[in-house]
Amino acid sequence: MPVRIENKNKRTTAFLSGEIDHHAAPALRREIDREIMENMPSELVLDFSDVTFMDSSGVGLVMGRYKIMSGFGGNIVIQNPPIQIKKVMKLSGIDRLAAICSV
């Protein structure tokens, strides 16, 4: 499973892993969206600790979840992105929509 999801106190955390590209993104999207719709969390955390590769398909994934979350007033956090992934995120300007944090 390329994503493990935890729900706690109105916060949903999706622990992503492996390579996020155009091939992998749709399955991740489906899994995460199902949890969001079920739990309507106030915060969605996307954890990238175990992601080994990401191209702009990952940016699309974050943008799409951002739209859904902001639709009902929730926010989104990008957690522990490795350096390469942070580089792609920064280039996209998505760090203006979602906080990037390390824990």
Partner 1 sequence: MNVKNEMKLCFKSISENEGFARTAVCGFCAMLDPNIEEISDIRTAVSEAVTNCIVHAYRGTIGTIEITAKILAGNELYIKIKDKGCGIPDIEKAMEPLYTTAACEERAGLGFAVMESFMDSLKVKSAVGRGTSVTMRKKIGVRYEQT
Binding region for partner 1 (CB under 8 A): 19, 21-23, 25, 29, 53-57, 59-61, 63-64, 83-84, 87-88, 91-92
* DSSP conformation class of 23: T
In DSSP notation, 21-60 reads: STTTHHHHHHHHHHHHHHH--SEEEEEEEEEEEE-HHHHH
Q: How far is the CB of 97 from partner 1 (least distance, A)?
A: 12
The smaller minimum CB distance to partner 1, of residues 64 and 100, is found at 64
The values of phi and psi at residue 20, to 5°, are -105, 110
Q: Smallest distance, Å, CB 24 to partner 1?
A: 9
Minimum CB separation from partner 1 for residue 19, in Å?
6
